[in-house]
Amino acid sequence: MSQKKTIPSPIDSSQGSKKMLTAMVGIGVFCALLIVLTYEGTKERIERLKAEALEQAVFKVIPGISKTRIFELDNDGIFIHSDGKDRSKKLVYAGFGDDGSLKGIAIEASGQGYADVIRILYGYNPYTQTVVGMYVLESKETPGLGDKIEKDENFLSNFNALSVALSEDLTRIENKVAPVKQGSKANPWEVDGITGATISSRAIGHIIGESSSIMIPLIYSQLEKFKLD
């Protein structure tokens, strides 16, 4: 704008301002139109791709399933069927086998990692009371170091049978999931960390620990609600 003062305008100033205004508004309207058209044109496909990516992740964290259904936690703490469109609600994804029996429930959780918030999905098997799989949905951890939480086989094997057993009164988790140093896992509820990705691997342990202590007693008490129809 300082240029406006220093450059002497040969044309009448009111006419100049009008020209500037017309140009800016004209370009603005044209650009807005382009953006709206692109948004409308891609919206459906983006939503479908995101839903597909999430569904694939559900298949990864609960082994042996063939169908999934989305459930949401309503305001009274009850799980009901959902179309998964309202992202502000707490959503869980139930996985069913070929015979329609419940095989497990995938739960979305997130927490602070090293670089940014890490968003994960983990599978819960209510019959064995264990976590049976974990998949990182979103993370900005350091390539080559922190992103080992997505690739390190040793670390991922933590989540093949991680104990989240409930206490006798079924209201809380007996032993909260907790991260430990690499190689010092002694109990089934501990998550063996990764040397060189300490903060990221500990973050995963804490995310599952926090989320499971709230969600799993709720899910377990309403297991009969998780049906295909």
Partner 1 sequence: MSTGITKNTELKNTPSSTDEFIKGLWRENPVFVQVLGMCPVLAVSNTAQNALAMGLATAFVLLMSNILVASLRNFIPKQVRIASFILIIATFVTIVDYAIQAISVDLHKNLGAFISLIVVNCLILSRAEAFASKNNIGKSIMDALGMGLGFVFALFCLGAVRELLGNGTLFNIEVFPGSFQEWIIMILPAGGFFTLALWLLLFNFFKSKKAQV
- Chain positions contacting partner 1, by CB under 8 A: 3-4, 7, 9, 16, 19-20, 23-24, 26-28, 31, 34-35, 38-39, 42, 45-46, 49-50, 53, 138, 140, 142-145
How many other C-beta atoms are found inside a 10 Å radius of the C-beta of residue 144?
Answer: 9
Shortest separation between residue 25's beta carbon and partner 1, angstroms: 11
Nearest to 217 by CA among 158, 189, 161, 176: 176
**Number of alpha carbons in the 13 Å side-chain half-sphere of residue 36:** 6
Report the residue number, 30 or 127, with the smaller CB distance to partner 1: 30
Shortest separation between residue 126's beta carbon and partner 1, angstroms: 30
Shortest separation between residue 125's beta carbon and partner 1, angstroms: 27
Nearest to 193 by CA among 224, 157, 220, 141: 157
Report the residue number, 17 or 128, with the smaller CB distance to partner 1: 17
Shortest separation between residue 85's beta carbon and partner 1, angstroms: 17
Q: Do residues 200 and 144 make contact, with C-beta atoms less than 8 angstroms apart?
A: no
Report the residue number, 47 or 98, with the smaller CB distance to partner 1: 47
d(CA 79, CA 82): 9
